Structure 1
Amino acid sequence: MSIYHYWGKSRRGETDGGDDYHLLCWHSLDVAAVGYWMVINNIYFIDHYLKKLGIQDKEQAAQFFAWILCWHDIGKFAHSFQQLYRHEALNIFNEPTRHYEKIAHTTLGYMLWNSWLSECPELFPPSSLSVRKSKRVMALWMPVTTGHHGRPPEAIQELDHFRQQDKDAARDFLLRIKALFPLITLPEAWDEDEGIDQFQQLSWFISAAVVLADWTGSASRYFPRTAEKMPVDTYWQQALAKAQTAITLFPSAANVSAFTGIETLFPFIQHPTPLQQKALELDINVDGAQLFILEDVTGAGKTEAALILAHRLMAAGKAQGLYFGLPTMATANAMFERMANTWLALYQPDSRPSLILAHSARRLMDRFNQSIWSVTLSGTEEPDEAQPYSQGCAAWFADSNKKALLAEVGVGTLDQAMMAVMPFKHNNLRLLGLSNKILLADEIHACDAWMSRILEGLIERQASNGNATILLSATLSQQQRDKLVAAFSRGVRRSVQAPLLGHDDYPWLTQVTQTELISQRVDTRKEVERCVDIGWLHSEEACLERIGEAVEKGNCIAWIRNSVDDAIRMCSPRQRG
């Protein structure tokens, strides 16, 4: 059956003109064209990642990414998918409806590769690799491109969703478009252990770029539905022209400003606290990932110290942005208010960075809603300079928490970052967002055992990507500190151990790099120094006696128990008394 008998997108109540349906071959080329320009413009560092995989030439990398994107919707050639929409111009119009097991078209595409297309070596790019090895390399890429809806495709046995003519049409399409990309090849390194390991590391980011290309290539505003038949090379040129406009959906990357001192970020600070002074003095000019743990009392200026470190790291070319994770939505809202006065200083004046608030109730915060610009998603629209907070957040970031971490500066709940290392849909987008960022996590002493374990996984992932993490806490136990340092060590594949601290080792600053661990005591501000007397009671009876004495004197006293049941059990006798 001809490739022109398969639809890819249909009119779903839209009134934006265009034909009733968009041919599958044209939608595939739309997405491929977006991917091509994403590489040319290095949007979200996709060209950088392909270079890491060994494709050094930008045009060759752009052609390869566009070609692999042509495979993303091959599952839609399935008869089970095609019968979901009927049109008199399509051959399926008069066919009786067949009943199929419900399977996503992403999984159908992966199934088609495993059962049919993998045995068609004429579809593979030229390579010095043998057919068997080329097939093995192609098998690495297929889940990345077919699993473009936020989850990897399922590996299931072939069912009857594809008729033979459907398989032939898919093969015919892939054979035709191969000629559009003369520079594509499969490097030998992709079949070597080191290359496979590198691919597995970077595939998360590349799969996220596939998602973004599909979303953009599906925008009928830029790619009107067309059922017109034409040669694929003719439509490819049209798609390239449309895609060059469509990529203005992606907000332009902002340029980091030079770090010129604490007064640039915080004009109100005349005399840095001891912790802030350390943040100014630490040697950050080492290669690879770094972990900083700042432990100090409330009022010691931990937030400012962390942002000083973050800006220094960004100015040194080690990151393009940051995400500040907090334990609750309330604390995230408060930090967003604080960051609103600081974050623009992180970037050059002619840049247009975005500050995002990332949590499920952010729409309830007026300050954030007022900060959103470019509501029509036009990348060429200028912000309204008459509004006091017009330089805030591009609407493209703000329309979904899935994309929130892609903004240059993010403030939100820590769980928004934690979902990057959990089996959540579109966690690859969150990983892509964090891939060039410093992670700052505040009040980590508030994490329970479950959250602490996820945080350790996030630190490990940040370290394996070569990124910095800054942790803030009032204080940590030796066990907590050990686990955090161990997580970083796993990420950089080095053995580093946290030092054993004594009772007087507080406040404390820890810096871990790929080669060393620097751990040191820090002075604290005189204004926040305090002395707390502690006495020990070793039985519940002694506690009750102390409470009785306080009550008789008319004093206030609090007894904090480990559980509600304990509190009720101890409270009841006193009430009866």
Structure 2
Amino acid sequence: MLNTWSGPARSCWGKTNASGDWLPVVQHLEDAAGVMDEVWAVQPRSIRSLLSDSLGGPHAASTFARFLAGIHDVGKISADFAHKARFSRPDGTSTSYLCDQMERQGFVITAPQRPIPHGAMGQMHVQDWLLSRYPDAPRRCARNIASIVGGHHGMNPTDGDIEEMASGLDQEDDLWRITRDEVVDTMATHTGADAFLGDWMRSPIPVQVQVLTEALVIMADWIASSESLFPYDLTTSTPDRVRRATAQLHLPRPWQPLPGPNEATDLFRRSFPSIPHGKPNAMQVTAIEAAEAMTEPGLLVIEAPMGQGKTEAALMCAEVLALKFGQGGVFFGLPTMATSNPMFPRVRQWLDAVPTTDSSSITLAHSKAGLNEDYQQLMPWNAHMDVHDDDAATHREASAIVHEWFLGRKRAILANHVVGTIDQALFAGLKAKHVVLRHLGLASKVVIIDEVHAADVYMREYLKVVLEWLGAYRTPVILMSATLPPAQRHELAQAYSRGRHGGSAQVTLADNDDYPLMTSVVDDAVQTGVSSTTAPRRVAIQHMGDSLDDLVTLIEERTSEGGCVGIIRDTVARAQETFDVLESRLDCEVLLVHSRFLAPQRARREADLVRRLGRSGEDRPRRIVVVGTQVLEQSLDVDFDLLVSDIAPMDLLLQRIGRLHRHDRPRPARLHDAACFITGIADWQDDGPLFSRGVDSVYTENTLLRTSALLSALPDSIATVPQDIPRLVREAYAESFPWPATWTTRGEKADETAHTSHSKAVSRAKTFRVADPYVASSLMKGLTDTSTVDPENSSGRATVRDTEDSIEVIVIQESDGGHRLPSDIGEFSDAELPLFGAPDGALARAIASCTVSLPRSLSNPWDIDKTIQELESPPIDLSSWQSSPWLRGQLVLVLDAEGHSALLGHPIRYDSRRGLIVEPSPGKEALA
């Protein structure tokens, strides 16, 4: 500890532990200032440059961060905070001696009537301190700097809070203020901030610099608050404490790929050595050229057909952009957990192939990441090698490891590389505690969002504001889609440009049907069409009735010489009904895939499906029928000889068609020509199709009507893929649609209804959306001055997804004299379960992974509380499971020995072939 501290400053406690040990606040501040050097060192060049450009150079920027880390807890020097030591601990012990020693130094400690949080106290004091030093400086400059102190716990007080709390300081004893001044004065000298404060107070610190600095301060505070790293021991000097802690913590340095080959072919072969004789296609070459052509960080939108290698293109572009602009890693966001899980090993395999200067860190970021086996094997406690061992370090030189510090829920986004759901990016657009950490986590990387068309109106409001902030941070972004409507492309490009250049920036995009298409947005938009090397496929699209008898006949006729058939239904209930009929009547393998299987069973089914029906074709069956739901349209590389699909919005229907004749291979003679049969239409009326029950509850009527009209207008009922994709998507989402004459009234009414729903969704999203970067002037203005629910808890996802909350349950089953896990889930299939005492680690993880989501019919707003209440009162006592971190707070559905149960009067069944079946309650219709 510095020898210059006065007796009063040394007496103020900052931290205490269960043993009654304590740490002076000034020691914690010295620790935080010292560890900030390490936090600064692990930031990539892009972050350091952004701060340096606004703060007066690299030295000034690091000093700014160090100074704020060194004063972040100055508000603890107050009677309100000190009085906390008067309260007895839960075990009955007292730390009132901490107050006694402070009172001996002259402090007056009274019980506060309305306690002022120490963050707010620090913000008020630092602002006053700055204005007293620089009385002619704009007040806004002082507020912007001080708000970083005020928000170091993740949320800032509002202006109203500050005004109300400031009035309560009139009665404060002078010694508190004098000691706080001593701390800020000393830290300004100790960190070197004295030399720069005058410059920082001349013009307001940009809001993006405030956000990133607050995130750095939070990181330094969290590290310095770890008792294992910084023990409550004052016998060691601060420099030695910091050196010992940072060596023990061993944070990985930013990802720095070494300069790679100049030729796209060489880059491809180095990046993906597992692809024999691989070389980039024209789309991938164009994408790499677009990335290399960027003179400044920008947005790249890659639009290309399904199965064309957009993932590989994005990863190669990410390497190019990270090398050019100093990003420290990659964020790869996908629509769902189910699509994120298989992407994790793909990204890690790519990282293993890219030469770098040092090992970097990686995380899988979604609510069930801890149950992913690929991720679990990389955990520090599961690692087979010591990362500090020379051989291990050599082995991992070009790979990414899981670092323990990034396993915290709010820290995962800060790892160098993050694979997860798109939600993890959208959370950066949500007003929530510690949102600044999400900003730092994204701003430091190349951000990739796959299947961007899957974001609905509500989600796009968050996506747009996140793109605005990423533009302000000069963060390279890559968006990918096979079916992106032009209007959405424009609004996303416009959002990034507004953040990059200000709210009045405009982007001009050509209205054409070039495809594949690269859209690059830096100063303005540059669009490059690609000459597709993919041979056009003529897909016959025919409507057929909803009769299952007709479906059986079609399959029998078309697969008489073999064939792999895909049937995609819009609801689980329709898929299950179809499966039941086909399995009983077809003389071939029939497989069912949907989202209502137990998670391990679903993952295994999907992996097996990709293995058998994917690119390699080594185990391709002679004859198989796969019945599924929307899971078949999202990121599964499967190839069908014949496709039957329920009607769906045009972009999603084309995604499904992308699974038809996907790869170049021989086909059975009767399936040589690609054909897609459209179902889900019960009847045709004068004003358009009458959709089958359940179909129109999934998608809006206007999108289904538009798809039906466009399909009916196809010349000779033929769509040429991929050439027709951009035109069909553009026309399907055009602002004005040319309805068939007899459909006009119904179609315009459906459009009006959709427009109203659109406006309501936008309004709902804006309720908790952060302010635009060109509107927010400080952390206190629309960013961290309001708290919402934690976005990572069970209901938090609904804040960035405009859907009803889905209830997820663990499924267990009765057995002879006890209870067991279901069959066919892996290592712990049929394992007997302890009901008294928590299961051990491996078994607890297996139990936690045996989850399934209930249908929306059991979790709608008027039934969800009753459903949860029933689940919280299972027929057996599972209270002892609450002591397991894997099982705490989880809801459990208990099946009888035959796999039956009930909820809200609905009979429920589960079997490994059909998944979860929810029957209608007596007298009611079946659930979709």
TM-score normalised per structure 1: 0.81
Partner of 2:347: 339
1:77 aligns with 2:88: no
* Amino acid in structure 1 at the alignment position of 2:320: R
Partner of 1:263: 269
* Amino acid in structure 1 at the alignment position of 2:402: A
Aligned partners of 1:486, 1:381: CA distance in 2, in Å?
Answer: 46
Q: Deviations over 1:512-551 (max 9, x none)?
A: 221441231441533x83524266xxxxxxx9xx446974
**Rg larger in structure:** 2
Offset at residue 372 of structure 1 (A) = 2.7
* Amino acid in structure 2 at the alignment position of 1:91: D
Partner of 1:147: 151
Offset at residue 221 of structure 1 (A) = 2.8
* Amino acid in structure 2 at the alignment position of 1:240: P
Partner of 1:106: 119
Can you give the 5+ residue segments of structure 1 that lack an aligned partner in the other structure? Answer: 14-18, 125-129, 229-234, 536-542
Can you give the 5+ residue segments of structure 2 that lack an aligned partner in the other structure? Answer: 1-6, 86-94, 262-266, 556-677, 682-690, 702-922
Q: Deviations over 1:443-489 (max 9, x none)?
A: 11111111112112222222222222111112111211121121122
Q: Deviations over 1:486-516 (max 9, x none)?
A: 11221232421222124xx433332222144
How large is the RMSD of aligned CA atoms in angstroms? 3.7
Aligned partners of 1:442, 1:552: CA distance in 2, in Å?
Answer: 34
Q: Is the 8 A contact 1:407 1:433 kept in 2?
A: yes
Offset at residue 44 of structure 1 (A) = 5.0
Offset at residue 218 of structure 1 (A) = 1.6
1:137 aligns with 2:141: yes
Q: How does 1:324-335 map to 2 (within 5 A)?
A: 324-335=332-343
| Larger relative contact order (Cα-Cα within 8 Å, sequence gap ≥ 6) | 1
Q: Is the 8 A contact 2:268 2:279 kept in 1?
A: no
Which of 212, 230, 248 in structure 2 is aligned with 1:223? 230
138-147 or 200-209: which moved more? Answer: 138-147
Partner of 2:858: none
Offset at residue 186 of structure 1 (A) = 3.9
Partner of 2:518: 509
322-331 or 102-111: which moved more? Answer: 102-111
1:168 aligns with 2:178: yes
Change (3 A) 1:132 1:405: same
* Amino acid in structure 2 at the alignment position of 1:306: A
Q: Is the 8 A contact 1:273 1:525 kept in 2?
A: no
Partner of 1:446: 454
Q: Is the 8 A contact 1:50 1:61 kept in 2?
A: yes
State the SS of the aligned residue for 1:531. strand
Partner of 1:372: 379
Aligned partners of 1:118, 1:314: CA distance in 2, in Å?
Answer: 38
Aligned partners of 2:436, 2:693: CA distance in 1, in Å?
Answer: 38
Aligned partners of 2:492, 2:692: CA distance in 1, in Å?
Answer: 25
State the SS of the aligned residue for 1:308. helix
Partner of 1:275: 283
* Amino acid in structure 2 at the alignment position of 1:305: A
State the SS of the aligned residue for 1:284. helix
Q: Deviations over 1:366-387 (max 9, x none)?
A: 21121133899xx983488399
State the SS of the aligned residue for 1:131. coil
1:417 aligns with 2:418: no
State the SS of the aligned residue for 1:137. helix
Q: Is the 8 A contact 1:288 1:467 kept in 2?
A: no
Offset at residue 289 of structure 1 (A) = 2.6
1:24 aligns with 2:32: no
State the SS of the aligned residue for 1:506. coil
Offset at residue 50 of structure 1 (A) = 4.3
State the SS of the aligned residue for 1:88. helix
Offset at residue 395 of structure 1 (A) = 2.3
Change (3 A) 1:317 1:492: closer
210-219 or 100-109: which moved more? Answer: 100-109
Q: How does 1:104-253 map to 2 (within 5 A)?
A: 104-113=117-126, 117=129, 121=132, 124=133, 130-133=134-137, 136-155=140-159, 156=162, 157=164, 158=166, 160=168, 162-181=172-191, 184-186=194-196, 190-191=200-201, 195-196=203-204, 199-226=206-233, 238-248=237-247, 249=249, 250-253=251-254
Q: Is the 8 A contact 1:63 1:184 kept in 2?
A: no
425-434 or 174-183: which moved more? Answer: 174-183
Offset at residue 330 of structure 1 (A) = 1.0
Offset at residue 302 of structure 1 (A) = 1.1
1:523 aligns with 2:529: no
Q: Is the 8 A contact 1:438 1:467 kept in 2?
A: yes
State the SS of the aligned residue for 2:137. helix
Q: Is the 8 A contact 1:323 1:438 kept in 2?
A: yes
Aligned partners of 1:42, 1:566: CA distance in 2, in Å?
Answer: 51
Aligned partners of 2:515, 2:192: CA distance in 1, in Å?
Answer: 63
Change (3 A) 1:455 1:347: farther
State the SS of the aligned residue for 1:372. coil
Identity of aligned residues (%): 25
Aligned partners of 1:221, 1:327: CA distance in 2, in Å?
Answer: 38
Offset at residue 74 of structure 1 (A) = 1.7
* Amino acid in structure 2 at the alignment position of 1:65: A
1:558 aligns with 2:571: no
Aligned partners of 1:327, 1:428: CA distance in 2, in Å?
Answer: 23
Number of residues paired by the alignment? 530
Aligned partners of 2:551, 2:138: CA distance in 1, in Å?
Answer: 85
Offset at residue 433 of structure 1 (A) = 1.8
Aligned partners of 2:189, 2:201: CA distance in 1, in Å?
Answer: 24
Q: How does 1:432-511 map to 2 (within 5 A)?
A: 432-493=440-501, 494-502=505-513, 505-511=514-520
TM-score normalised per structure 2: 0.52
